[in-house]
Chain A
Amino acid sequence: MRPFFEELRARFPELVRSVEEVVSGQFTVLLNGSDATGIARHFLAEHKARLVTVFAEDRVNAEGVFYNYYVFDRPGDPAWVILKASIPKDHPSFPSLAAEFPAVNWQEREIQDWFGIEAAGHPNPRRVALHDNWPDVHPLRKDFPLATVLPPFEGEQHVYRPTHGEGVFQIPVGPVHAGIIEPGHFNFAVAGEPILYLQLRMFYTHKGTEKLFENLPIPRAVFLAESISGDSAFSHGAAFCQAIERAAGIEVPARAQFLRAILLELERIANHVGDIGAIANDVGFVIANAHAGRVREIVLGLNETLTGNRVLRGMAAIGGVRRDWRQVQVEAIGKTLEVVEREFRDLVAIVQSSNSTRERLERTGILRPEKAAMLGIVGVAGRASGVDLDLRRDHPYEAYRHLPFRVPVYQAGDVRRRLQIRIDEVGESIKIIRAAVAGLPDGPHRAPEQPIPPDRCALSAVEGWRGEIVHWVRTGDGNRLERCKVKDPSINNWPAIVEAMEGNIVADFPVINKSFNLSYSGTDR
């Protein structure tokens, strides 16, 4: 037993029932009762721990209770600590942490909506994941069939915070937006040009994904994971496969680990290049976007050579990747990267050559480091606001243990820094891919297929291009899943946009929103 857990037992002898290392590096602390607040506060205060995600599981049929899981990580320790609190089925309620950990505000309300478990004391306990007009259903309960037919959606009945005062107006936007982007509703309260506050409504693209995971054979579920968030198809696919592999004890061959790292970095490059162009575009610098679009196409062409698909679909597989690469494909990586690197350097020079662009981006949409830390912001948005967090370094998985890279971090938290993080990371990703290609081991690209044993749990975390992706699974009988929790970084980061918008003008909303570029589908699932 590690000293950390001995100390925890000594400190909370009444609360801690058992500590188990379910998977190497993943410690589940089973609690007596449903109250995790005391230990959570202790983790935060004394260990500077971060609450990564909160989710529930319906084990009423199997064990007569619900469980809540609280995933923590601590600076400097690659292990995951998961508090597991049982919630009685007759009194489904748990004390809310949202007032102290704003990062779990939406996730606790998801538990309320999807499981019918009350987050007692939540500062804003209204529905979030099911819209206000939904009937009183809890889709992730086991007694709710996937195919349930509900009455048609009658329209949003959400009551927004009212806006008072002379010359103060509300501007409702969406869910169908002006650009080619995903649906969500934004309600701006404005006094003239400046925005007083922004209210968000998400979950328009909720399509029952977590429930669907429980209804598909595991090999098919890999393709569902690729469809959680289309711009992160491989990141989510890999995160899902890694969770299954850890649960089942499948050893991923060294070559497969390197191939995965290369694909994860290609996904990062393609998306970052696209975002750099889009940010420039949103301040009217159209020519920069045209060049970015061209560079992105070069990367997508390489994706197609390596996987048969421009956006890396159909490549993630349990035990490795679906297709191995011939020597000529491996050589294409180096050759293409040379072109990408040169073209990207020119693109960055173009973007940075424009003073008017810099003026629009600098000090626009500021997310201050203390706010970012308090809200639990992750990924690109976090690193632009001083949150020095990157799972590839802090919880190294697969080939990243062997690959050198630097994690850029800025403090100013404006659009310009979020742009700069992307610029820096493209350079780092190119370095990672080159090192991975140089060190690419021989051997199989995939472990032999094997049946997945039932009732195994595991967590998996992947640094997608946007940020921290977490999947948690419990396997079931017959090569199926009992539960699959998906946490996209977007669910952490929406509150950051609200924060960053305050005091900015409506005309800057598109560029601020784009500088975060969150996934609606990843949020809504």
Chain B
Amino acid sequence: MFKILQKTFNVGTATANYPRSAPRLAEQFRGCPEFDFDSWSDARPVADACPTGAIAVCDRDGARQVTVDYGRCIFCGECAEASPDGAVRMTQRFELAAADRRDLVLIAEYTLHPDGSHAALQSASSGPSAEEPGKRIEAAIHNLLGRSLSIRQVDAGSCNGCEQEIVALNNPIHDIERFGIHFVASPRHADMLLVTGPVTRNMELALRKTWAATPDPKVVVAVGACGISGGIFGTNYASLGGVDAIIPVDVYIPGCPPRPEALLHGILLALGQVRQRANSHPRR
């Protein structure tokens, strides 16, 4: 007993201070790719290299539409490898959670040379805003004091990769309980469903029932490329794709799997919505 106390005392505070301060990332950490649409000479080899179809091209009448979907991206880095002109680069950005699915999609339109390479950029949507880490959610944390949040996690068909990182939220490094957030055993005790995917045919009903069992007001967070879009599994005879194909989703957290700080970022973002909804929910 004394030894356990001694060891624990010697270790001291292990908890990271995210989101107040930036997380410690290895120099090699791969976040999301970024795209220099102006200088991109040809999207086709990049789209070919993407294993999940997160980067797609559609050519019509001598024009090309390039779609980049962070909701499908697994951060593998193949696109940057296939883009020798440097128009696609890997960044260390991971705070990509968004309340609107459309915010995860970039679209660029090009006119084409006869050989199919890009002639001129016609239009491009700007990427997710590159704010200071944690800035956007700082306010939510301040407002949150005095309120706790209960999360029920639902694996609706995941490979278990996201679950590993969700479990890590409970370790002393990430320690999600410091925000008054804890994981509960029943959807009936939950304010939030944290759902991973792809939603399989065999889990659809269980997911619907879990959602129905969660009292209002509630929020749903879809986790990981598969939870958002079906990821590499997409839709097939056994997979129905992303969580929002089955139940309404309030916040999407990209990644494969999202690192614990990315999960925390998305959960705190969703907290703002819990508050909003709690205030506007009619009292019975």
Contacts and interface: CB of A to CB of B under 8 A. Distances in A.
Contact of A205 (B7, B29, B155, B210): B155
Contact of A313 (B163, B233, B256): B256
Given A182-B160, A230-B163, A231-B160, A293 B168 contact: yes
Nearest to B30: A308
Residue in A178, A227, A306 with the greatest tally of chain B CB atoms within 10 Å? A227
A492 interface: no
Contacts of A323: 28
Interface string A148-172: 1110111100000000000000000
B164 A293 contact: no
Contacts of B160: 182, 229-231, 519-521
B171 A297 contact: yes
Contacts of B133: none
A182 B158 contact: yes
A261 interface: no
Interface string A311-348: 10110000000110000010000000000000000100
Contacts of A203: 202
Interface residues of B, number: 65
Contacts of A152: 201, 204-205
Interface stretch (A37-45, A48-56, A139-147, A365-373): A139-147
Interface string B190-207: 000000001011111110
Contacts of B154: 176
Given A207-B236, A350-B3, A294 B171 contact: yes
> What does DSSP make chain B's interface, helix, strand, loop or mixed?
loop
B74 A147 contact: no
B198 to A, nearest CB: 6
A317 to B, nearest CB: 10
Interface residues on A, range: 35 or more
B159 interface: yes
B227 interface: no
Contacts of B165: 310-311
B173 A294 contact: yes
Contacts of A311: 161, 164-165, 257
B150 interface: no
B172 A290 contact: yes
Contacts of A149: 237
Contacts of B162: 230
A205 B51 contact: no
Contact of A146 (B170, B236, B259): B236
Interface of B: 1, 3-4, 7-8, 11, 14, 24-30, 51-52, 74-77, 153-168, 170-173, 183, 185-187, 198, 200-206, 210, 226, 231-233, 235-239, 256-257, 259
Interface of A: 131, 137, 139, 144-150, 152-155, 175-176, 178-183, 203-209, 211-212, 216, 219-220, 222-224, 227-231, 233, 274, 287, 290-291, 293-294, 296-297, 300-301, 304-311, 313-314, 322-323, 329, 346, 349-350, 353, 519-521
27 contacts: A144-B237, A146-B236, A148-B237, A150-B237, A152-B201, A153-B202, A183-B157, A204-B206, A205-B155, A205-B158, A207-B198, A208-B233, A216-B51, A223-B74, A223-B76, A223-B232, A224-B232, A227-B232, A231-B160, A231-B161, A293-B168, A304-B25, A306-B28, A310-B165, A349-B3, A350-B3, A521-B157
